[in-house]
Chain A
Amino acid sequence: MKAKQKPRNNFCPARNNPFATEHLQKIRYRFSDESLAELLCHFDTLGKQAAIVGPQGHGKTTLQKELASAMVPSQTQWVKLREGDRIIPQSILHEVFSKTGTSDLICVDGAEQLSWWNWKKFLRQLGKDQRCLITSHRQGLLPTLINCKTSVSLLADLVTELTSTPDAAQQKELELIFIKHRGDIRQSIRELYDRCSNGAWPVTSTETLI
């Protein structure tokens, strides 16, 4: 005789997933060692050309956006480099430098992607007085403004903001996820998204599971 079956509540539609991209984009950078004002002051003392350094998923780009908006330059020119972008095309360089005055800010996200030669070429065109804030996985391209660090408590803090305060068992899970992804908060949250979509991570309301 066939056993009776009941549907398992293990599906969280993407629209109800608290770790969806639209929610992550609202998260602000958590300042710890230095406040926003201190970092802005630090940026000035470094000659207004500095680097936010750290591994992938450590909040560099989030902090860069936060600092750029707080600096209130006349305008900000953004150059976003993706994996494998060893060169900034001349047309983009021309557009960036032709539109930029020294009171403006040039932001390069992912500067470590550029080859040594192309980085030097960029620096020559940049000029000494031009405000510039970059993110990079490695030190040495520009003076380091801050080394971005992550922690399990930061991950727990973000999870609290997105869902609810993790209980002891969830806290343990977060530690394992954090270690697995070597402190990469972005990857950790992606894993939480997947767990949530399978019903393996609780959402705030049981009604959101189908």
Chain B
Amino acid sequence: MLKILLSDDRTAFEVGEMIDVTASWSLESPVERVELRLLWNTVGKGDRNLSVEKTWKYDQPLNNDKITESIQLPEAPYSFSGKLVSLIWAFELIAFPNGDSVRQEIVISPDAKEILLHNQQYDDV
């Protein structure tokens, strides 16, 4: 079992914020490596883009372990959603070589809220 815990159980953060990320795992058999990744990807109508911004590698890990990293979140790009595309930040914890993984999506923006790109339409009431 792989688990990602974030500071105060929050999932939305301001750009450049310092946060504690705890990666923990309880593995049935030894693995070569566990990686914690901070990445963003796009989702939408077109092809998917993905960028791994930072990786923390733990070689020859114990079967049960827990590691906390203090991480400064990047300044950009911001989390946003439009009709055509969303940009999603996430932490991923992956065990190699079996590929077991867990993903925790987060929001990064100036006011810790996802930026929504749409023209709100209104109905008369």
Are B122 and A14 closer than 8 Å at their CB atoms? Answer: no
Any chain B CB within 8 A of the CB of A8?
yes
Q: Please name all residues of chain B whose beta carbon is closer than 8 Å to the beta carbon of A21 when the two chains form the complex.
A: 43-48
For the complex formed, measure the closest distance between the CB of A209 and the CB atoms of chain B, giving whole angstroms: 11
Closest to A199 in B: B121
With contacts A190-B45, A193-B45 taken as known, whether A14 is within 8 angstroms of B123 at the C-beta atoms is no
Number of interface residues of B (CB under 8 A): 21
* A4 proximal to B (CB < 8 A): yes
Count the A-B residue pairs with Cβ separation under 8 angstroms: how many? 68
A13 closest partner in B (C-beta) = B81
Which of A6, A13, A17 is the one whose CB lies under 8 Å from B125?
A6
Contacts of A6 in B (CB 8 A): 122-123, 125
The residue of chain B having its C-beta at the shortest distance from the C-beta of A17 within the complex is B44
Say yes or no: is B84 at the interface (Cβ < 8 Å to chain A): yes
Q: Are A14 and B81 in contact (CB under 8 A)?
A: yes
Contact A15-B48, Cβ < 8 Å, known A5-B125, A7-B120, A197-B83? no
In the complex, whether B118 has a CB less than 8 A from a CB of chain A is: yes
Q: B123–A8 contact, CB under 8 A?
A: yes
Tell whether, in the assembled complex, residue B125 and residue A14 are in contact, meaning their CB atoms are under 8 Å apart. Answer: no
Chain B residues contacting A10 (CB-CB under 8 Å) are: 121
In the complex the two chains form, what is the Cα distance from A4 to B125 in whole Å? 5
Chain B 61-104: CB-based contact to A (< 8 A → 1; otherwise 0): 00000000000000000000111111010000000000000000
Provided the pairs A197-B83, A198-B83 are in contact, do residues A14 and B124 lie with their beta carbons within 8 angstroms? no
29 A-B pairs whose Cβ atoms sit less than 8 Å apart in the complex: A3-B125, A5-B123, A7-B120, A7-B121, A8-B121, A8-B122, A8-B123, A10-B121, A12-B83, A13-B83, A14-B81, A14-B84, A15-B43, A15-B44, A15-B88, A17-B43, A17-B45, A19-B45, A20-B45, A21-B43, A21-B47, A21-B48, A22-B43, A193-B45, A194-B45, A194-B83, A197-B45, A197-B84, A210-B118
Interface residues of B (CB under 8 A from A): 43-48, 81-86, 88, 116, 118, 120-125
